[in-house]
Amino acid sequence: MELCSEEAVRLVWEGAIPLQIHLHESEVTTLPPPPPVLILGPRIGYLPLLVTVIKPHFNDTLPPGVDSVWFDYKGLPLKWYIPTGVLFDLLCAEPERPWNLTVHFRGHPGEILTPCGGEDPVKWSFINSLKEAAYIINGNCKNVMNMSQTDQSELWQSLAKGNMESYTRVSSRLKLGPYGEDAVMRMSTGRIPIRLYLRILGEDVDDLEDVTTIDSWDSISYINRPVEIHNEEGHYITFRSAMRTLLPEFFDDEASAFDHVLVPRGDYEIDDGIENTEATATDFVSTKSQSPKKVNEIKLIRIQGIEVDLDIPFFWMVNNLKNPEHFLHICVFMVPALNPA
């Protein structure tokens, strides 16, 4: 199996979510109220980058005041620095198409959400994430820090405009991948940047359509923890093995479907057995139930809108499904389950 697929990467770059964006009723000053905007939101993009398209549609009905744009989904303010596709995968357990969002131009909830005053904050958030990824991969972020202003601008504009060829041309100079058999020999630290989002669904959820809406970000645990790679000639690690490193609490020693896997190379040949790593930013908040008779179990893992197979080579996942800032964003849904013990 080829670990780099231009077709898969292109599909990620071309991926978009149909959005139906409504203006909040408190900001409507005309009758009849304006209809919602229908727009495609790029998966790898960010919601504030859509404002230049959305604002003209609602401009004539807005009340006087200074714009401070933010979005919500069913009352939950959306974090603008999380890619649109990740927000959708995380908040819509059962995909909603079109995805109905509300845009606000007034009344920013500063106690919940960091303000975003246009495109620049989004750009610098992206660049800072890229620096963080470079540090995890290479042990330093010199390549990103030493980018010329021209390259930095071209890299950002290629993301904002969805130009994969331009992005690839500039990002290849940063030496942040791709990964393969010799990944550890080419990487200073042998680490791969991961952003992990954990959402616990309610009890007795058999169908994703029955999942209740999130009303607070406190319902989601966030982990910023790299996966550490150890070189074994002739073998790759599976996504299962990487997840065991990230969430050892849910991939225990039981001889079950989550036990070690060896997949033949060529039709995959992968050996796992990665050592555990420490969280690099937000420490993992244990999500195990306080009841000794119950634990949480993984119901679904979603990346780029895909329910992924745990036995796929992890390098394939990273090379082809990572976001442009070189983080692999993983959404994990968990449900309470009876402990057979």
pLDDT in tens, 211-234: 888 999 999 999 998 998 765 555
pLDDT in tens, 269-325: 222 222 333 333 333 333 333 333 447 889 999 999 999 999 999 999 999 999 999
Model pTM score: 0.85
Give residue 203's pLDDT: 72
Residue 153: partners with Cβ closer than 8 Å, 6 or more residues away: none
Q: Which of 94-98, 178-182, 314-318 has the weakest average pLDDT?
A: 178-182
pLDDT in tens, 12-33: 999 999 999 999 999 999 999 9
pLDDT in tens, 44-70: 999 999 999 999 999 999 999 999 999
- Check if the beta carbon of residue 122 is closer than 8 Å to that of residue 81: yes
Q: Which of 6-10, 183-187, 318-322 has the weakest average pLDDT?
A: 183-187
Residue 335's pLDDT band (cuts 50, 70, 90): confident
Q: What is the CA radius of gyration of the chain?
A: 21
Give residue 181's pLDDT: 52
Give the Cα separation of 3 and 144 in Å (integer). 25
Asked whether the predicted pLDDT for residue 235 surpasses 70, the reply is no
Query: Which DSSP state fits 236?
Result: B
